[in-house]
């Protein structure tokens, strides 16, 4: 079932791209497929980023609640839930999209495992319309034509230390962008900040021994995520500035109205005294 729903569709998408693009570069096909998947999931990851941004904005209030709770976990949880309810925020909404994407990562791992090990592995899983793409038809007839390389140089079937490090660096940039700033005495913020180093290090550790197609996918996916985060953050900043301006205008209006009322009241008082 898992093969039919995810692995085979992704495998066929990858091989279709490989068979269609000029030069038939396997590494470029991996990058294009990554972009297609990431942009298809754009609305989902967008919701995740918006939720994370809202939670970041609440960090000062969350820190105050933790301090006032004095280590009482039950009281702290109750106060936090009241805060989330008041601000209409679901604290788990930032995690759900990430969990939803997890099966895609597993499927892509198996896709790359099949595709980089030759026609014998991926040939039987191809859909008829993909197998009939002229170049794919040639590859199936002559397996020696298949070359799982990036730009004809970097083998996607073998581990690549350079790509593993690049994947880790892009992961660091991506995580750093959504990690709240650390404030003195905020243990939770410090724990979140430590994740900025742990996730990239874990990415490098895992990618170090895996076929280069995986860190190439991670790198391309991270670059799309960085672009999306920057775009959403700029949009959120503009919204916050608009709200701030509206608040300032509203305060000025209320101040002017109060001043006018005060002047009228004084005039009436003077008339009354006369």
- Residue identified by tokens 């942009």 is 39
Report residue 78 as tokens.
């109750």
Token output for 137:
């038809």
**Pick from 118, 152, 138, 206: nearest CA to 29:** 152
pLDDT at 238: 52
DSSP bridge pairs for 154: 150
Residue owning tokens 């005039």: 267
Q: What is the mean pLDDT of the chain?
A: 75
Residue 190 in this model has a pLDDT that exceeds 80: no
Q: Which of 24-33, 215-224, 253-262 has the lowest mean pLDDT?
A: 253-262
Higher pLDDT, 234 or 148: 148
| Residue 145 counted as domain residue | yes
Could you give the angle at the alpha carbon of 15 between the alpha carbons of 14 and 21, nearest 5°?
90
User: Are 116 and 156 spatial neighbours (Cβ–Cβ below 8 Å)?
Assistant: yes
Q: Provide the token pair at 197.
A: 């180093």
pLDDT of residue 241: 46
Q: How many whole angstroms from its chain centre is CA 199? A: 13
pLDDT tens for each residue of 62-87? 777 777 767 667 777 777 777 777 76
Rounded-to-integer distance, Cα 171 and Cα 242, Å: 31
Count of structural domains within the chain: 1
| 155 dihedral zone (left: phi>0; alpha: psi -120 to 50; beta) | beta
| Gap between the terminal Cα atoms of the chain | 92
Give residue 248's domain range. Answer: 2-265
Here the tokens at position 9 are 């569709």
pLDDT digits (tens, 9 = 90+) for 100-126: 566 777 788 788 877 777 787 788 888
- pTM comes to 0.69
Confirm whether 107 is domain-assigned.
Answer: yes
Asked whether the predicted pLDDT for residue 2 surpasses 60, the reply is yes
User: Which of 94-98, 174-178, 232-236 has maximum average pLDDT?
Assistant: 174-178
Residue 32 falls inside a structural domain: yes
Structure tokens of 132?
A: 């009939």
Q: Is residue 252 part of a domain?
A: yes
What average pLDDT does the segment 224-248 reach? 63
**For residue 272, is it within any domain?**
no
What CA–CA distances, in Å, run from 47 to 40, 93, 95, 226, 233?
13, 8, 10, 15, 12
Rounded to an integer, the average pLDDT of 136-165 is 86
Q: Give the span between the Cα atoms of 17 and 11, in whole angstroms.
A: 10
Residue 93 lies in a domain: yes
pLDDT digits (tens, 9 = 90+) for 53-62: 666 666 777 7
HSE (CB half, 13 Å, CA atoms) of 79? 17
Q: How many CB atoms lie within 10 A of CB 96?
A: 14
Residue at 250 is within a domain: yes
Does residue 247 form part of some domain? yes
Pairing relationship of beta strands 149-150 and 154-155 according to DSSP bridges: antiparallel
pLDDT higher than threshold 50 for residue 187: yes
Position 11 scores a pLDDT of 86
Contacts of 116 (CB under 8 A, 6+ apart): 26, 148, 156, 157, 211, 213
């Amino acid at each position: 079932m898992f093969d039919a729903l995810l692995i085979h569709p992704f495998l066929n998408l990858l091989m279709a791209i490989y068979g269609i693009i000029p030069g038939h570069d396997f590494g470029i096909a991996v990058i294009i497929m990554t972009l297609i998947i990431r942009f298809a999931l754009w609305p989902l990851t967008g919701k995740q980023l918006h939720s994370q941004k809202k939670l970041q904005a609440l960090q000062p209030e969350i820190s105050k609640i933790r301090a006032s709770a004095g280590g009482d976990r039950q009281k702290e949880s109750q106060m936090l839930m009241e805060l989330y309810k008041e601000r209409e925020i679901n604290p788990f909404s930032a995690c759900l999209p990430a969990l939803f994407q997890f099966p895609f990562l597993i499927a892509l791992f198996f896709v790359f495992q099949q595709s980089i090990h030759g026609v014998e592995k991926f040939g039987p899983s191809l859909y008829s319309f993909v197998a009939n793409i002229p170049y794919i038809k040639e590859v199936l007839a002559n397996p020696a034509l298949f070359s799982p390389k990036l730009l004809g140089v970097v083998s996607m079937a073998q581990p690549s230390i350079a790509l593993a490090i690049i994947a880790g660096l892009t992961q660091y940039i991506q995580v750093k962008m959504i990690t709240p700033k650390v404030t003195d005495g905020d243990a939770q913020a410090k724990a979140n900040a430590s994740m900025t180093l742990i996730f990239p290090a874990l990415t490098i550790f895992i990618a170090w021994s895996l076929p280069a197609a995986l860190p190439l996918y991670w790198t391309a996916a991270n670059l799309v995520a960085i672009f999306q985060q920057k775009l959403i953050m700029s949009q959120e900043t503009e919204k916050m500035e608009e709200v701030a301006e509206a608040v300032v205008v509203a305060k000025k209006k209320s101040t002017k109205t109060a001043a006018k009322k005060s002047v009228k009241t004084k005039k009436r008082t003077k008339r009354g005294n006369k």
